[in-house]
Amino acid sequence: MTKLTCFKAYDIRGRLGGDVRLTSEALKLALAKGLQDAGVDVLDIGMSGTEEIYFATFHLGVDGGIEVTASHNPMDYNGMKLVREGARPISGDTGLRDVQRLAEAGDFPPVNEAARGSYRQISLRDAYIGHLLGYISVNNLTPLK
């Protein structure tokens, strides 16, 4: 992978969310700024679970998504879960090592303010709940005992 080829030379759209950890919001906003500096139009779905980033990425047909989370790790940890277009996970074998090499090289061009991406907060919660309810027949549910 050549320098910055993980970024496309056309409309780049991504979804961003974060979990309930105390550091998630600050990390998410710093990540959003970095993505915007690289020309990405960021849609922030707010506080969310990893499954919601998968849904948002697929549902809206965007280039990728990032959930700020440390998953099952202790609450004082934090990190990121990355997904590609079509809600496909990014792992060591599917691009994560390339991202690591780019980050370690640190050879990023200066920010071009004219090409800076946008930032917008959106809610997909109703669409996500509707999607989940599509798997069941609500009329067949019985009360819990």
Catalytic: 71? yes
Could you say which DSSP state residue 45 is in? E
> How large is the C-alpha radius of gyration of the chain?
17
3-state secondary structure of 100: helix
Q: How far apart are CA 113 and CA 102, in angstroms?
A: 21
3-state secondary structure of 59: helix
User: Among the options 48, 71, 123, 137, which is catalytic?
Assistant: 71
Residues annotated as catalytic (active site), given as ranges: 71
